[in-house]
Amino acid sequence: MARKKVMLGWIAHDATRRATFKKWKRSLLKKVSELATLCSIDACAVVYGPEEEAPEVWPSPAETTRVAARFRAMPESDQSRKKTDQEGFLRQRAAKLREQLSRQDRGNRELEASLLSRPRSSCGWRR
């Protein structure tokens, strides 16, 4: 059964917002757990709640510290290899779309040239 699309936006009612936060947090932590298990990778999650004094950490504070230390020990170039900001993402997307448009234009020109170079066939009727 398909779910209805969730409209993202500020939830005005406090109780509803807290309940939604708890559900999404539980779902997020479950997905991180599944990702770590299925892909056999080191993963961790730190979630700061609006009304919680300490963040919730998965799988454990010690393991999260180990994974974060391993990440920080990597060279800066490896840490930011796949990071991008909004501007960089939009530049990459625009470049891909320009390349796609270029390929489509080239294909259209080739098709048009092949259609124009074909001899006309008689259609069987005359005026």
Q: What is the pLDDT of residue 99?
A: 96
Amino acid occupying residue 47: V
CATH architecture of 13-74: 3-Layer(aba) Sandwich (3.40)
Report the SS3 class of residue 35. helix
Q: How confident is the model at residue 96 (pLDDT cuts 50, 70, 90)?
A: very high
Q: How far apart are CA 92 and CA 82, in angstroms?
A: 12
Is the confidence at residue 100, as pLDDT, over 60?
yes
Q: Which helix (H) or strand (E) holds 31?
A: helix 14-39
On the 0-12 / 13-18 / 19+ scale of CB atoms within 10 A, 101 is exposed
pLDDT, tens only, 71-95 = 999 998 888 887 888 898 899 999 9
pTM of the complete model: 0.59
pLDDT, tens only, 14-58 = 999 999 999 999 999 999 999 999 999 999 999 999 888 899 999
Q: Which residue has the higher pLDDT, 8 or 70?
A: 70
Query: Are the C-beta atoms of 29 and 57 separated by less than 8 Å?
Result: no
Domain ranges across the chain: 13-74, 85-113
